[in-house]
Amino acid sequence: MLSKIFNWLSKDLAIDLGTANTSIYLKGKGIILTEPSVVTVKEDGRYKRVLAVGEEAKRMLGKTPGNIKAIRPLREGVIADFEVTEAMIKYFIQKVYNRGYFLKPRVIISVPSGTTQVERRAVKESAEGAGAREVYLIEEPMAAAIGAGLPITEPVANMIVDIGGGTTEVAVISLGGIVVSHSIKVAGDKIDEAICHYIKRKYSLLIGEATAEQIKIAIGNVLPEEPYETMEIKGRDLVTGIPKTITINSKEVQEAIKEPVDLILQAIKQVLEETPPELAADIVDRGIVLSGGGALLRNLDKLIAKETGLEVKVTENPLFCVALGAGKALDEIDIFKEVMAEV
């Protein structure tokens, strides 16, 4: 009875702790925060002092002096720096969680399906250290499927492909469980890296991660058509060492990102090959659902449809799909408790 009163009084949070962005869902209010998963720290011997978190820290990426570092504490979907991750979660919780609330929040956090028990414990301990009363974990493809409104508890196949910043999660879900899944550490970040390498190789021009991301968003296209879109970019000439401006087009970006996109396609095909026949028949009827920021890459849905022969649709709100699904699972915790990830 007491726990029910506690649950009623506390404002619960769902956190999509992404490699690129962190989104927070507040019970009863929806998505109330989305900020980059970036922290700026000042190193003083063995100690790190947090200077900025989120949007403010992202603006400092690649522009800091020697003793100040703008870092991304999550790499490829897992915690790379425990201390900084805890500080980041704490900052976000404090930013959205009014101190006037009576109780500490219950928190549900999404984790990639390929994470180990040790990695999951690290996420849980980070949230507990940041002030959560209870911590639940949910696998990203499961949260994405709930957020996309798929009937995950019914005996039908729901195929979801969640392309985030650090990982791509491909899963077939039925009866509230993941039947087949595959998690690869190829997603938005690897696409940005591929653009950086291509421009360095072809034009001897060095560009940063932020510029590569801008290129991907502005003219990234996996099936570009003539006349190709163009974009002016600035970087440092590796031959002369002087800043330089060049123009690239969407056909070049397609070439640049071909390898990571092919790896995502391979992961989708692998899951389809491993799917039991009865569920495979459902997928033919129901198709594949895309979510995550990577789903916004132009014509990716058409390319997957062309390669698999299946219907592919992008969910209504791909960027916030995981956070919305985790929030829905938290709102109806008694129904979705079975789908929570074990720690």
Binding residues for ATP: 19-21, 165-167, 213-216, 293-296
Residue 286: CB atoms within 10 Å: 18
Cα 278 to Cα 174, 189, 285, 287, 311: the distances in Å are 11, 35, 11, 14, 18
Residue ranges of the annotated binding site are 19-21, 165-167, 213-216, 293-296
| Cα–Cα distance measured from residue 342 to residue 323, given in angstroms and rounded to the nearest whole number | 19
| Cα–Cα distance measured from residue 16 to residue 77, given in angstroms and rounded to the nearest whole number | 11
Question: For the chain, first and last CA: distance in Å?
Answer: 26
| Cα–Cα distance measured from residue 247 to residue 234, given in angstroms and rounded to the nearest whole number | 9
| Cα–Cα distance measured from residue 96 to residue 266, given in angstroms and rounded to the nearest whole number | 39
Tell me how long the chain is.
343
Biggest CA–CA distance in the chain, Å, is: 72
Tokens of residue 202, six digits: 């072809």
Nearest alpha-carbon partner for 212 in 241, 191, 228, 236: 191
| Cα–Cα distance measured from residue 282 to residue 157, given in angstroms and rounded to the nearest whole number | 6
Asked whether the beta carbons of 126 and 86 are under 8 A apart, the reply is: yes
The pairing of strands 288-291 and 312-314 is parallel
